[in-house]
Amino acid sequence: MPKITLKKIKPVDKNYFAKWWRDKTLLKLTSGILKPISDKKITKYFLAILQSKNDYHFLICADKKIIGHISLVKRKDNWHETQIIIGEKKYWNNGYGAKAIKILINKAKRLNISKIFLEVRPTNLRAIKAYEKCGFIKSGVKKYPKNKFLPEVLRMKLNNTLLKTK
Ligand SMILES: CC(C)(COP(=O)(O)OP(=O)(O)OC[C@H]1O[C@@H](n2cnc3c(N)ncnc32)[C@H](O)[C@@H]1OP(=O)(O)O)[C@@H](O)C(=O)NCCC(=O)NCCS
């Protein structure tokens, strides 16, 4: 098994994001918005990631190969939301996603982050399974009736005993 690590994102990494944000298979599992995204928007969203002050964004690496993106974004009431994409699809189903999430949880612990949740498409069984392996528990369904691409999501919360330091 390759060594999974989380690495700081640099300006030269933009093309990975451009590729992943245009991959229809990935889009169907995430936002559901298949309309092609312009270069301008890619630059805008990538710069927002690079420059964000309150949030944490990392590349996921398998040995030296860059395979994905994982983040922890500050939300209200001391909650943080995590999102993950293994953009290189041949790396799916090998435990790398779960490993990356566990590394992120350890980082969160050191940062004194005490509450983590996520939202996932209810049909994305692979993702739900990976999250459960890391200690996330289903906490309910949230409806977004105005979002025709993703009208409802499953919310999952990290069992917070996993975030307590001994
Ligand atoms: C979701 C994602 C991060 C998970 O990472 P991963 O490395 O593929 O996942 P893991 O191998 O750690 O775990 C997946 C588990 O789901 C299981 N699984 C795969 N397909 C499944 C299915 N259709 N139904 C149920 N379980 C399934 C796998 O067997 C594995 O469980 P196991 O370890 O007990 O065998 C990755 O697949 C990905 O980026 N997918 C595309 C983007 C995406 O969906 N992101 C999440 C948006 S919320």
Q: By C-alpha distance, which of 127, 150, 1, 133 is closest to 70?
A: 127
Write out the two tokens for 117.
Answer: 């949740």
pLDDT of residue 164: 77
- What would the mean pLDDT of 20-29 be, rounded to a whole number? 98
Ligand 1 centroid – CA 135 distance (Å): 14
The CB of 142 under 6 Å from ligand 1? The reply is no
Q: Whose Cα sits closest to atom 19 in ligand 1? A: 126
Q: By C-alpha distance, which of 127, 104, 119 is closest to 156?
A: 119
Ligand 1 centroid – CA 96 distance (Å): 9
pTM: 0.97
Q: Whose Cα sits closest to atom 10 in ligand 1? A: 95
Which domains can be identified in the chain, with CATH numbers? 4-117 (3.40.630.30)
Q: Is the per-residue pLDDT at 166 higher than 90? A: no
Secondary structure of residue 101 in the 3-state scheme? helix
List pLDDT tens digits, range 62-116: 999 999 999 999 999 999 999 999 999 999 999 999 999 999 999 999 999 989 9
The CB of 20 under 6 Å from ligand 1? The reply is no
